[in-house]
Amino acid sequence: MRIAFLVAPEGVEQVELTAPWKAVTETGDIPVLVSTKAGEIQAFNHLDKADTFPVDAVVDDVSAREFGALVLPGGVANPDNLRMNDAAVAFVKGFFEAGLPVAAICHAPWTLVEADVLRGRTLTSWPSLRTDIRNAGGTHVDEEVHVCDAGSSTLITSRKPADLPAFCRAFVTEFAKAESGAS
């Protein structure tokens, strides 16, 4: 199964990209780096520049239906940039409309807020997003990982890099269920 990783050209928290990417490749699925611009993205270790990664697809040229699931890594600047890009927001919304699972960590739910897909959902995130999530109709919980099956799409969320092992285990399990058609 092809799994989209949506990131802005700059600002993704590197470990929140690389750890889930590794988890996906270990299952035999195919991660695809999608961004708003072609070329490379610049990852960060918090506020310091880290590695660059090649973009596989530009969000304007793909749709959610080409993938089996979506991963939204965090970093403060990454989701803030994505939420200002109409094509990125529409791409995210497309996964929910198609009933495909979505995994988001740390600040990534900011993009979900902008896509208006949180009404009636329960999720976790970096603590500073609590009010934004509530204002978007969601319920915020402080948990290592939270799986929400409300609505047509399963939403898997986590708070921070320290939660990555639990986050990766949870989304790998949920993505496999979705691929097999299990509920």
Catalytic residues: 106-107
Rounded-to-integer distance, Cα 78 and Cα 46, Å: 11
Work out the angle at residue 179's Cα, subtended by the Cα atoms of residues 181 and 158, and round it to the nearest 5 degrees: 110
Secondary structure of residue 44 in the 3-state scheme = strand
- Given the structure tokens 């995210």, which residue do they identify? 92
| 27 burial level (CB within 10 Å; 0-12, 13-18, 19+) | middle
Rounded-to-integer distance, Cα 156 and Cα 85, Å: 23
Rounded-to-integer distance, Cα 58 and Cα 74, Å: 19
